[in-house]
Amino acid sequence: MRILTTISDMTRVGIVIDLETGETEVVPSRPEFIEPAVTGRPGCRPFGITWSEDELFIANNKQLLVFDKQLDFVRRSTTQLQINIHQLAYKDGRVWAVSPWTNSLIGVCRNDAVASVEFDIPSQEVRPYLQREASEADDKSHFNSLLWTGAYLFVAAHAFGGASFINRYDGITLQLDKVYRDAGSSIHGLAHDGDELFWISTKTGEIRSDSGYCLPLSRPGYARGFAVTSRYFIVATSEYLARGDRCAGDSWIQVIDRRQGSIVNEICLVDSGSINELRLLDEYDYAHCVAPFWNKP
């Protein structure tokens, strides 16, 4: 199993890790990835990851970076996103980005000639996306994660350490049809397998589900980054650091047996800074619900 993590050390966009051999491959940063106008956050902050059949996308502040199958940089989308973009997902020719500061999902078409759209989460309205300056003060619930499945769109709200919640929308009409309350605290990541919805309750250090499943995580720290196969949970945990210190510090990837709840493997990434996102590249991931980007070796 090979994963891609986005990290915060400013010199690397991400690291590809073979979870069976421990071998790693670096996706380097480039000077043009650093946005000097960004204040209060690192000028290079790679976060969400998703892909189409032949291109991989990474959110980096306002940039949507595009890579080829070999993870070589190809271009930047002409559409500017927002500062503090979190998770990405791909659906029907669009890259969807969770934008906490605008309380919305931004849908960027792969064809830059086609206008981007925006799904306003509170009003459930889809409208043309206007490139603009958002404000952190407008962040109402800190929506940070999304998951498209065959029938639904799920969007998770961190809720600033309070009672996190998850909204479920009809996958066609985008009308809200269910809210999962009491989901934990400071949640991140969503996965859907069969009829069960999973996520990480970061502040309480647990994997939870809507059926009552609850697995305490053994590694203390800030859990963010989640992949799920038929056999394993894959969880990224970083040192719990103040925002200004997150470009340094170590992080860990744990492979957890779903049936036993036991640690199968743990890999330490030294001086990676905080992990922002994790995607499984070569096996179906119930936390992504798209075909794998790579074939199994």
* 93 domain-assigned: yes
* 291 domain-assigned: no
* 68 domain-assigned: yes
pLDDT of residue 209: 98
Written as one string, the DSSP assignment of 179-241 is EE----SSEEEEEEETTEEEEEETTTTEEEETTS-EEE-SS-SEEEEEEE-SSEEEEEEE---
* 41 domain-assigned: yes
What does each of the 297 residues of the chain score in pLDDT, given as a tens digit? Answer: 999 999 999 999 999 999 999 999 999 999 999 988 787 788 899 999 999 999 999 999 999 999 999 999 999 999 999 999 999 999 999 999 999 999 999 999 988 778 999 999 999 999 999 999 999 999 999 999 999 998 999 999 999 978 999 999 999 999 999 999 999 999 999 999 999 999 999 999 999 999 999 999 999 999 999 999 999 999 999 998 887 888 989 999 999 999 999 999 999 999 999 999 999 999 999 999 999 999 988
* 133 domain-assigned: yes
Contacts 24+ apart (CB under 8 A), 206-210: 207/233, 207/235, 207/256, 208/183, 208/184, 210/180
* Count of structural domains within the chain: 1
Element spanning 7, H or E: strand 2-7
* 286 domain-assigned: no
Supply the pTM of this predicted model.
0.96
What pLDDT, in 10s, does the model give residues 175-207?
Answer: 999 999 999 999 999 999 999 999 999 999 999
Question: Could you list the residue range(s) of the whole structural domain that residue 163 is in?
Answer: 2-280
What pLDDT, in 10s, does the model give residues 124-136?
Answer: 999 999 999 999 9
How far from 131 is each of 102, 128, 153, 270, CA to CA, in Å?
Answer: 11, 10, 24, 37
The CATH number covering residue 78 comes to 2.130.10.10
* 290 domain-assigned: no
* 296 domain-assigned: no
